[in-house]
Amino acid sequence: MENQVLTPHVYWAQRHRELYLRVELSDVQNPAISITENVLHFKAQGHGAKGDNVYEFHLEFLDLVKPEEEERLNKLRIESQGSPETLASLKKGYLFMYNLVQFLGFSWIFVNMTVRFLILGKESFYDTFHTVADMMYFCQMLAVVEAINAAIGVTKSPVIPSLFQLLGRNFILFIVFGTMEEMQNKAVVFFVFYIWSTAEILRYPFYMLSCIDMDWKVLTWLRYTMWIPLYPLGCLAEAVSVIQSIPIFNETGRFSFSLPYPVKIKVRFSFFLQIYLIILFLGLYINFRHLYKQRRRRFGQKKKKIH
């Protein structure tokens, strides 16, 4: 019984110049496929009709196999080990769903704020946080995935700009707004959230279409153009929120601390906020430069073709 050779089910299909073979095995490991003269040799570990075993067969053709068929045989071997196309499809599906969820989240924020502004006018500025903060929390926490994707190579986005945007926004959302109720009723919250959501409802659908190899020219132009006014405006709105929060943090003493003896110096959190303002504009420069290079690569080639 130990020397018994197990043969898998092999299905044959043929056209005038093409021959198709399907070997009914799953979870294939270490496939050995070769051709000697007019015989195809197959041997692999896999799950077939007799469970997990080593299966093999030898298929004899009527004529000799031409040498140029070796390239197709190599392709067969690669596909049997796990098709790169399958992995690419899974990756595209994963990225499509991520971008879709983010697009829906930021769209909900944008539409909610727009409708409330049209109905309530300036009064909607002062309760923006309590209306859309939960969804903004969700979207910004989910954005951690975006930085991880860049770090491990799932996407080609550079890590530094992704981290700057993620950490900067989350600092404003969770620390400046989230921990200080006095900041949650200020009008600046409306402008910060509205600029963020406007930028993202253009960015995420562009990435969604890229996952399915679609290029909508209007959306592409908006994706690579609207950041020019939106990023400086967003940076300005975030800076205003930090500046407005400094006296509140000083008054409440939140996150301030005293150094131990013998120094005994009280370090106010507002000191770190002032440092953050410098980092904020540094991040603006890094992201602005990155996006400018992207835009030049995207539209620069078309200009060269015209000349």
Compute the residue count for the chain: 307
Q: Going by DSSP bridges, is the β-strand pair 19-23/10-14 parallel, antiparallel, or unpaired?
A: antiparallel
Q: Say which of 194, 200, 238, 276 is annotated catalytic.
A: 238
Amino acid identity, residue 286?
Answer: I
Closest CA to 158 of 305, 24, 294: 294
Question: In the numeric block, which tokens belong to residue 39?
Answer: 């015989």
Cα–Cα distance for residue pair 106/100, rounded to 1 Å: 10
Cα–Cα distance for residue pair 114/228, rounded to 1 Å: 22
Could you confirm whether 182 is annotated as catalytic? no
Q: Say which of 231, 251, 261, 276 is annotated catalytic.
A: 231
DSSP string, 90-155: HHHHHHHHHHHHHHHHHHHHHHHHHHHHHHHGGGGGGGHHHHHHHHHHHHHHHTHHHHHHHHHTSS
Could you confirm whether 18 is annotated as catalytic? no
Closest CA to 182 of 252, 256, 235, 236: 252
Q: Which residues are catalytic?
A: 231, 238
